[in-house]
A and B are shown apart, each in its own frame.
Chain A
């Protein structure tokens, strides 16, 4: 279970996140929704350690962790980026096996085997030898998912998983997320697509821009 308590983040004098609390139960999907500019992505970047939070508590299964930390116990988040950020000079399989080998010190054979297994599960069997530029957007996304899963994360995070894809692929992504949920994966999804969020999520967290909240209050 992931718990975040009282997360705050400012850029300069602009308060983006002001005491966000959230909980994701094991095996569930939490969707963070809201209009663009509301701080959804900043929230995700703080949780995954790409941005340093000003303050806040991060707990995984009751134990505190540091999203920016380098200890093995801090490595709990897998991330699937909006534009995937695959490594273009490596093959699909190398994209997946690089970090397990370099960071987890897995042997090449077992890393390859696990990589092939993940590709098979995600419908990319025998695509391991291709380079990212040879794949479609949906395939790249699945490689990004396989790459994140290969590090055995406790939570898998997605930043706008539907925005870079054709609209008709939206249901496919939804099914994929639900399939991973069926395998017990805990997932956190940032999206501006309300319909998609309702389809996949066990819980919704609505984020609104702080300036708008303040405007709304002023208007009351």
Chain B
């Protein structure tokens, strides 16, 4: 395992990291708000809305993400919806992670005591104000550990995009490994994943600490 070999393949691996990270950030940015909105629909009393959202969550959690990626990229064009590779990946990831986040937030919403809503109600806060000022801040604290798990999963799940030909970190390692017949690139890939997840874990820990000001 020579240093010169490592420095030779590192640029292509880091190119892969760029795709991995950009998928990671954009997926979070899209799926977290989507998850909150869907979860508010899931706890609403509007039955048809609930049925539609239940179906969505069931589809997304009931089939492999790999399959969803294939359907979005190769299947949707059959009905006239064409995505570029990267956009297809992002679309599938946001829909998939949005469903998982929705279920986590739903659990969070349901663990808020009815008394909090009643306390807000007799103070004449509107439902929107109650959600924004009373409920969601408390839900966020409750769901952070579960969201953290999904965030870490997402970093690794992003490697599934190889199936539609996107060059992420794992794919860059794979290419180098089969070309040079050595496991060194994949070993480096593992180390890079560990570093990324180490950073994510640290940040999540800090966020958890920020919310520990009350019990």
Residues on A facing B (Cβ under 8 Å): 48-50, 70, 75, 77-79, 81, 83, 85-89, 98-99, 102-103, 131-133, 147-148, 151
Contact = CB atoms under 8 A, between A and B. Distances in A.
A86 B119 contact: yes
B137 interface: yes
Contact of B134 (A87, A103, A147): A87
Contact of A103 (B115, B116, B123): B123
A99 B123 contact: yes
B121 interface: yes
A129 to B, nearest CB: 11
Contacts of B113: 85
A49 B129 contact: no
A130 to B, nearest CB: 10
Give the secondary structure class of A's interface: loop
Interface string B99-129: 0000000000000010110111111111001
Nearest to A67: B122
Contact of A89 (B118, B124, B214): B214
Contacts, number: 57
Given A102-B133, A133-B214, A89 B141 contact: yes
B121 A50 contact: yes
Interface of B: 113, 115-116, 118-126, 129, 133-134, 137-138, 141, 213-215
Given A147-B123, A151-B124, A88 B133 contact: no
B121 A49 contact: yes
A75 B124 contact: yes
Contacts of A103: 123-125, 129
B215 A133 contact: yes
A18 B129 CA distance: 35
Contacts of B129: 102-103
Give the secondary structure class of B's interface: helix
3 closest pairs, A vs B, by CB?
A85-B119, A99-B123, A85-B115
Nearest to B214: A131
Contacts of A83: 115
18 contacts: A48-B122, A50-B118, A75-B124, A81-B115, A85-B115, A85-B118, A85-B119, A88-B138, A88-B214, A89-B137, A89-B214, A99-B125, A102-B129, A103-B123, A103-B129, A132-B214, A133-B215, A148-B123
Contacts of B213: 131
Nearest to B124: A103
A7 B123 CA distance: 23
A87 to B, nearest CB: 6
A79 B122 CA distance: 7
Nearest to B121: A50
Nearest to B123: A99
Given A49-B122, A88-B138, A131-B215, 20 more contacts: A49-B121, A50-B121, A75-B124, A77-B122, A78-B122, A79-B122, A81-B115, A85-B115, A87-B116, A87-B119, A89-B214, A98-B123, A98-B125, A98-B133, A102-B133, A103-B129, A131-B213, A133-B214, A148-B122, A151-B123
B108 to A, nearest CB: 13
Contact of B138 (A77, A78, A89, A133): A89
Nearest to A80: B122
Contacts of B137: 89
